[in-house]
Structure 1
Amino acid sequence: MQKALSCRCPSLIPSRETARFYLLCVLIALYMLAGAAIFSCLERPVELQTHQLWEKRLRDFSRAHNTSCEDLKLLLRHYEEARTAGIRTERGRALWDIPGAFYFVGTVVSTIGFGVSAPSTVTGKVLLVFYGLVGCSATILFFNLFLERVITLLSFVIFWCHRWRTGHSGLEDRASEGNEEWKPSVYQVTLVLFVAVLLVSCGAAALYSAMEGWTYLESLYFCFVAFSTVGFGDFVSGQRKHHEDTWAYQVANCLLMLLGVFCTYSLFNTISVIIKQGLNWMLRTLTWMYSGVRRYRLRPLFKLCLSDSELPICYCEDDTLHRVSSSCQGMLWSSYVPNAIGKCLCDEAQVETVCNRNTDGETSEKQ
């Protein structure tokens, strides 16, 4: 029987899930900063030019019609308020008849929110809060159930294709073994969903290009914005006056929206799994780099516990690795107890350890 050592080096050790969470936060922040820099370089010059052109047009219009710029801006401010109620310079379809209201609630529960229409009454705004709370929750649940059935269908199709390609017999025992062996990977599911989203987007873009008068590239852009539930509102389908009489287009528009949102949501879920695997790979790489740095006796301030199956590690002066007892597992932030002979270096402070030795000089630990 070995005796437990009393060397204790308290340190902040995040678990694997916590380390992955912090790494994801850092990567998202860097990703957003990079995106902000890129879009600022692309769009800021155009924004400044547009402001200059708008001010020039206001001055030219006020001089041509002998109107002050302040009165003209006041009229434009009233028009901006009227746009919320559906007033447009070019008359469009009704926003709050039954088809228009159905289109509105569809954008609410799917979290698209184009912004082309919004409640103007106080009662409507209050009701929208509770309506959206229940509707969005139910729709997210429906999306998750839809994803489960998509994965089940893909599992069956891939298994059937494998049996057809390899010429397996139809025996039940062999079928069950093959079904367990040939479950689709996340990459296969992602590829199939990506192809599905691409096909739906290309088909929908062709329809929108013909019915809305947009270019094909603008239609593809609208499909991504709508199917990903971003919904900027710069392009909105089915809002022209003549669309009120085209029931076939209205039905096709709703079905394409639903199908596109379902497939895109499922694709986002599978991509998130791949991103999670990438984070795990990055953590393993950091562990490998840490081990390489450790060989040159460089002690970092913090030690990350990067494995669920292994206990936290403490490095001591004798270059041996010692792990804590299993009682420390399950804690989000825990301290570790290294079993070492000599001194443990934590946060650049030396802590004297009391070590029990056997008669032959080897340290033992109680089972």
Structure 2
Amino acid sequence: MLGQRDQAVPESVKKVMQKPRVRERAPDWGRRRVMPGTPLLLCCYLAYLALGTSVFQALESSAAPDYEEASLQAKWALIHNYTCLDRAALEALIREIIREHKLGIIFPSNTTSMGRWELAGSFFFSVSTITTIGYGNLSPQTMGARLFCILFAFLGIPLNLVLLNRLGCLMLSWVQHWAHWLGGTQKDQTRARWFVGSCAFFSGLLLFFLLPPLLFTHMEGWSYEEGFYYSFITLSTVGFGDYVIGMNPDRRYPVWYKNVVSMWILFGMAWLALIINLVISLMESSTVLCPCSQRNPCRTWRSTGDIKPPTPKSTPGNSGGKPTRS
């Protein structure tokens, strides 16, 4: 009897009965899983910077006293060797002074700037390393610190890129959220997107480019134009090294100064990367700058060989099931 009942049930009904139930997900499940990871990633990033700061400080500060004494003796020996200068000797002296200044020797005082490898200086060097700014004003002198710098940058640069991408996505989600809320109240999504996008752009411009030069003018004695120039060269990771904070031996800098500038570099790079990606997308979608993308959008993302020809349509009434070209 049981065998006859099983045979009476159609196969299609059996497949439906045996099909496992799929759990329905909430519409915003992906968003809830992505955003809470940002504070954890930021904490890992800061912990990694703290590790690099402590190691660089331990390796370089231990060798600083011996190197400082040798540097001072080399400085006075260098000056005494050039008592009477011709043009070639003067150029050689200038090159030596520039090289010694990069190593931490201050002319014409009787001190050196080996204190740059203290806590704030080591932290700022760690930030400039993994953000690939690389001013060039400070570099490790011991072999152990150089080998650690290679490993630190090898793991820190990908971590920095992941964090910048996450912060950029977080900023973009905030902008989209406010645009959606404002568009719902004003019943105009397009105008709300333009308004919120403009506010985000100008607020970022004010926070990362227009206000920091005032701080640099006060702390470094630069002009406002020099501070603005330093802000863009730093956040764009160009890092020429002609302007670097905390390098004037005649000024006393507070401890929080370089730490605040390091956080400004991190969030400013994320905001600038978001703006640059927006400009790239606008340039790629422009018919004036790239008219080929409008005629064949697939060519901008795929090569010619990846584009498949369109498949011919088939009609139900065609004999033999052969397709007919439309």
Q: Report the TM-score when normalising by structure 2.
A: 0.58
CA shift for structure 1 position 160: 1.8
Say if 1:160 and 1:212 are closer, same or farther in 2 by CA, change over 3 A. same
Q: In the TM superposition, what whole-angstrom CA distance separates every residue of 1:89-137 from its partner, at most 9, and x where no partner exists?
A: 2665722122211111110111111111012233333332221121111
For residue 250 of structure 1, the aligned residue among 222, 246, 258 is 258
Partner of 1:264: 272
Report the Cα distance in structure 1 between the residues aligned to 2:185 and 2:306, rounded to whole angstroms. 53
Partner of 1:80: 98
Partner of 1:146: 167
Report the Cα distance in structure 2 between the residues aligned to 1:333 and 1:95, rounded to whole angstroms. 56
Would you say the 8 A contact 1:186–1:273 is kept in 2? no
The alignment status of 1:95 with 2:116, answered yes or no, reads yes
Report the Cα distance in structure 2 between the residues aligned to 1:238 and 1:211, rounded to whole angstroms. 9
For residue 226 of structure 1, the aligned residue among 210, 234, 256 is 234
Give the secondary-structure state (helix, strand or coil) at the position aligned to 1:226: helix
Greater RCO, CA 8 A, separation 6+ = 1
Q: What amino acid does structure 2 have at the position aligned with 1:278? A: S
Would you say the 8 A contact 1:197–1:264 is kept in 2? no
Report the Cα distance in structure 1 between the residues aligned to 2:234 and 2:163, rounded to whole angstroms. 18
Report the Cα distance in structure 2 between the residues aligned to 1:335 and 1:270, rounded to whole angstroms. 27
User: Greater share of helix residues, 1 or 2?
Assistant: 2
Give the secondary-structure state (helix, strand or coil) at the position aligned to 1:111: coil
Give the secondary-structure state (helix, strand or coil) at the position aligned to 2:117: coil
Structure 2 residue ranges without an equivalent (≥5): 1-82, 310-322
Deviates more, 1:134-143 or 1:276-285: 276-285
Partner of 1:129: 150
Partner of 1:283: 291
Q: In the TM superposition, what whole-angstrom CA distance separates every residue of 1:151-194 from its partner, at most 9, and x where no partner exists?
A: 1111111122223334xxxxxxxxxxx9xx77986996476235
Q: CA RMSD in A?
A: 3.7
Report the Cα distance in structure 2 between the residues aligned to 1:113 and 1:217, rounded to whole angstroms. 22
Q: What amino acid does structure 2 have at the position aligned with 1:277? A: S
For residue 305 of structure 2, the aligned residue among 328, 333, 358 is 333
Structure 1 residue ranges without an equivalent (≥5): 1-64, 167-177, 288-305, 310-329, 338-363
Report the Cα distance in structure 2 between the residues aligned to 1:139 and 1:279, rounded to whole angstroms. 34
Q: What amino acid does structure 1 have at the position aligned with 2:100? A: A
Partner of 1:273: 281
